[in-house]
Structure 1
Amino acid sequence: MTDDVREALRGVAASELLLVALDFDGTLAPLEDEPMEARMLPAARIAVDALIAAPETFVAFVSGRSLTDLRIIAEHRDDSRVLLAGSHGAEFWVPGVGPIVHADDPADAALRDALRSRAEAATAHLDGVWIEPKTFGLGVHTRKATPEAAEAANRLVDAMVQAEAPNWRRRTGHNIVEYAFRQEGKDSAVAELRERVGASSVLFAGDDTTDEDALRSLGPQDLGVHVGDRDTAATLSVPDIPALAALLSDLAAERTAARE
């Protein structure tokens, strides 16, 4: 650890009540061609477990995945102490409470289903393109597609959504474009989690463009960490998942030592 990283960790480690909010795909688990095969690296799981055991510390996973899918890939059990924010903060799972989903207009769900079916039909001829059902919309996955097929799929679905659901939120990520009738982002997810647990400081870590909303929302008492090497609003950057796992393990140790 450099002196700058050590000083940044020491600041959040000494906070009265800490929320560690973590993106999942690309942050704790490697990106997979088959998205439902994603699982935390062992080092990341060890670090998460250490943080859960640290005093006055809450851990949350904040993901664009639906809550159902996030629970599967995170191997999240009913007795878990990890909070979840799925669908970019439109769904939550809280220990001792269970799932919390904000109410929706049935017309939105009907339009979601119609657009999803039309997107599947419109892109069926494009190899490597997969339309992911999402609780509040759909995702266009192109990780296994050629650049030409990816461009065609995104163009087709973009035009479809713009014509029939121009107010839907559009997000881009690693080989995916997501569309949702809900407007929540990871910034609002972190804000709701912060309020729910009463955190005095937040550490948020993520790797994708959708994580930048949360990183930009952090205050001076918080710490943002980016996994990767692109431009970011994060205070710190680490090169990969093992490096983040090492940082989180160091944070758990600092957090425990600060409370002894």
Structure 2
Amino acid sequence: MTAEAAIDPRLEDAVLRIARTDRLLVAMDFDGTMSPLVSRAQDARPLPAAAAAFAALAGLEGTTAALVSGRALASLRAVAAPPEQALLVGSHGAEVWLGPDSPGLELDNEQELALQRAVASVQKAVDAHPGTVLERKPAGVVLHYRQAAAQAAAAAVAEVRQAAEGQPGLFLSEGKMVLEISVVRADKGQSLAMLREVTRATAVIFAGDDVTDEHGFSALHHGDVGIKVGPGDSSARFRLESPRQLPAVLELLAAARARWKPAPA
């Protein structure tokens, strides 16, 4: 087990208890959870110990591992290098990969036009405010302002909000130094509910760091385990100070789950 920090005894008890459920869903956010936050999104990588424990869980009987991220699926695959067995949810739920037969995302004409308008509004703000960056997604567009000066960031956010609010078919969400416009209404709570159903999970453990993860925490049931990573208000029952504490939790879960034996049919 990693020696970053001792696990809170309450969280340890909860992890050991959930390891004994019949069908376990291990759902993890990526940025700020499996990986420390970085200035450039393309530079993010999972902490090696977290990636190893996550892969070990993905290979265990009665256990499904899933990444539930705001990233587009292509970006998530590129930086996370998930194990083959893992399920993937991208763009907060607008994109889903449950295996080779998963249907791709298709937008109708109205959604395509709405997305074009959203991209144009974000591009206009990025052109006017140095340090801001536009990211395209299959169903949305993101304004990144982590590297912008405070005044430029605030102005860009205000301009994009003003352009998007009230426009039909556009849905806004804000995270850590990002403002996203999507043409598909989706959130991590809906994503966890879907994953719970398709995997027939009897319990879920979910960890995330951002305000967008609160939808996921709110969707958890009694007996599930929600872990907030980092500072900020949260409805999660448990908290880790940083992503560097997550590997110890996943390692504990993997070791306990490996010892678990399914109940007789």
Q: TM-score, normalised by structure 1?
A: 0.93
Question: SS of 2:96's equivalent?
Answer: strand
Q: CA deviation at 1:98?
A: 4.8
Q: CA deviation at 1:102?
A: 4.9
Give the match for residue 89 of structure 1. Answer: 93
Secondary structure in structure 1 of the residue aligned to 2:74: helix
Root-mean-square deviation over aligned CA pairs? 1.7
Deviation at 1:136, TM superposition (A): 1.3
**Distance of 1:75 and 1:166 partners within structure 2:** 36
- Separation of aligned partners in 1, 2:9 and 2:79: 35
Can you list the C-alpha shifts for 1:141-174, whole angstroms capped at 9, x where unaligned?
Answer: 00000110000100111111125x2552211111
- For 1:75 and 1:230, the matched residues in 2 are separated by 28
> Larger deviation: 222-231 or 202-211?
222-231
CA distance in 1, matches of 2:121, 2:183: 16
Distance 1:148 1:182 in 2: 30
Could you tell me how far 1:225 is from its partner in structure 2?
0.7
Task: Say which of 66, 69, 80 aligns to 1:74.
Answer: 80
Q: Deviations over 1:83-103 (max 9, x none)?
A: 0001111111123x2543454
Residue in structure 2 matched with residue 145 of structure 1 by the alignment: 148
Aligned mate of 1:178, from 177, 180, 187: 180
Q: Distance in 2 between matches of 1:141 and 1:2?
A: 34
User: Per the alignment, in what secondary structure is the counterpart of residue 124 of structure 1?
Assistant: helix
Aligned residues, how many? 256
Tell me the equivalent position of 2:240. 238
Question: 1:38 Cα shift?
Answer: 1.0
5+ residue gaps, structure 1, are none
Tell me the equivalent position of 1:132: 135
| 1:4 corresponding residue in structure 2 | 10
Which residue of structure 1 lines up, in the alignment, with residue 217 of structure 2? 215
Give 1:254's aligned residue.
Answer: 256
> Match for 2:70 among 64, 68, 71?
64
Distance in 2 (CA, whole Å) between partners of 1:153 and 1:122 is 5
Shift of residue 184 of structure 1? 1.0
Q: Secondary structure at the match of 1:139?
A: strand
Kindly state the Cα deviation for residue 258 of structure 1 after the two structures are TM-superposed: 2.4
Aligned residue for 1:201? 203
Calculate percent identity across the aligned residue pairs. 34
Per the TM alignment, residue 6 of structure 1 is displaced from its structure 2 partner at its CA by 2.1
Shift of 1:114: 3.0
Whole-angstrom distance in 2 between the partners of 1:118 and 1:171:
15
Amino acid at match of 2:197: E
Closer, same or farther in 2 for the Cα pair 1:166/1:148, shift >3 Å?
farther
| Residues in 1 aligned to 2:59 and 2:182: alpha-carbon distance in whole angstroms | 35
CA contact (8 A) 1:216 1:233 kept: yes
User: Does structure 1 retain, via aligned residues, the 8 Å contact 2:105–2:138?
Assistant: no
Distance 1:205 1:232 in 2: 11
Structure 2 alignment gaps of length 5 or more: 1-6
1:30 matched to 2:36? The reply is yes
Would you say 1:109 and 2:115 are equivalent positions?
no
Q: Is the 8 A contact 1:94 1:100 kept in 2?
A: no
Structure 1 CA distance, aligned partners of 2:82 and 2:19?
A: 25
Is the Cα contact below 8 Å between 2:11 and 2:238 reproduced in 1?
A: yes
The corresponding residue for 2:4 is: none
Give SS of 2:130's match. Answer: coil
Provide the C-alpha distance between the structure 1 equivalents of 2:47 and 2:59, rounded to a whole number of angstroms: 19
Residue matched to 2:48: 42
- 1:184-195 matches, within 5 Å, as 184-195=186-197
TM-score, scaled to structure 2: 0.91
Distance 1:101 1:27 in 2: 26
**Could you say what secondary structure the match of 1:116 adopts?**
helix
What code does the residue aligned with 1:250 have?
L
The answer to whether the 8 A contact 1:91-1:99 is kept is no
Distance in 2 of aligned mates of 1:108 and 1:120: 18
Distance 1:191 1:173 in 2: 21
**Partner Cα separation in structure 2 for residue 2 and residue 119 of structure 1:** 43
Q: Distance in 2 between matches of 1:209 and 1:120?
A: 24
